[in-house]
Structure 1
Amino acid sequence: MKKILYLAFFFCVTLASAQDKDKKEAPKPQIVEASCGQCQFGMTGHGCDLAVRIDGKSYFVDGSSIDSHGDAHASDGFCSVIRKAEVVGKVVDNKFKATSFKLLPKK
């Protein structure tokens, strides 16, 4: 009987710690600079592509496009200005893989 109780307790502790680990690894939103990688961040590429700058390093974005946030070539578009965005995701293979991309209001 003691062995069964011990195994049940061990199973519960293991399950609880696994759930805590999943919560800790969930990406958190962060505020980044967002703009056209080629026009504003000086990145090499063809055409105009959405990019973010995190800790001084620029990354092209997968998961959102430059045209999803208005006219990129307008006076307030990504090819003309650098904006702030709240993003969720991570850098993989030198690209930012966005699971969420929210452009913040202009100040």
Structure 2
Amino acid sequence: MKSIVSLLFILTFSLGFAQDKKETTKTQIVEASCGQCQFGMKSKSGCDLAVRMDGKSYFVEGTDINKHGDAHAEDGFCSAIRQAEVVGEVKDNKFVVSHFKLLPQKK
């Protein structure tokens, strides 16, 4: 009986974890900007890089808002929503990036 309960617990935990993790091993184009200034995210203060995929916004781990130019410039993340090429996964409601390339703006 203990082994059945243990097995059910492990399966339930595993399924819950799998739903929280959205893995993307392929390159995709997403919207990138300041989560607070452009995407209206409130869970952090200040200015932090975020991406929006499938209508949902995630703060980014693995790169920083200041590594991609002046965030407060006219075309910076706090002033504009940009396109970025990314590879990564959603983990614990954050986008953990292994590749982030800001794309040139279309004129």
**Which consecutive residues of structure 2, in runs of 5 or more, have no partner in the other structure?**
1-22
Residue deviations 1:36-91, cap 9 Å, x none? Answer: 00000000121000000000000000001000000000011000000000000000
Matches within 5 A, 1:7-86: 27-44=25-42, 45-86=44-85
SS for the counterpart of 1:29 is: strand
Which structure: greater strand fraction? 2
Task: With the length of structure 1 as denominator, give the TM-score of the two structures.
Answer: 0.76
SS for the counterpart of 2:63 is: coil
Q: Which residue of 2 aligns with 1:106?
A: 105
Which structure: greater helix fraction? 1
Following TM superposition, the consecutive aligned residue runs of length 4 or more in structure 1 with deviations greater than 6 angstroms are none
Point out which structure has higher relative CO (alpha carbons under 8 A, 6+ apart). Answer: 2
Identity of counterpart residues, as a percentage? 73
Q: Which residue of 2 aligns with 1:14?
A: none
- In 1, Cα distance between the equivalents of 2:87 and 2:72? 25
Aligned length: 83
C-alpha displacement of 1:98: 0.0
Question: Contact 2:24–2:88 at 8 Å: present in 1 too?
Answer: no
Q: Structure 1 residues 106 and 26 mapped into 2: Cα distance closer, same or farther (>3 Å)? A: closer
Residue deviations 1:13-57, cap 9 Å, x none? Answer: xxxxxxxxxxxx870000000000000000012100000000000
- Read off the aligned partner of 2:64 and give its amino acid letter: S
Q: Structure 1 residues 78 and 26 mapped into 2: Cα distance closer, same or farther (>3 Å)? A: closer
Q: Which residue of 2 aligns with 1:12?
A: none
**Which consecutive residues of structure 1, in runs of 5 or more, have no partner in the other structure?**
1-24
Q: Over aligned residue pairs, what C-alpha RMSD do you find?
A: 1.2
Task: With the length of structure 2 as denominator, give the TM-score of the two structures.
Answer: 0.76
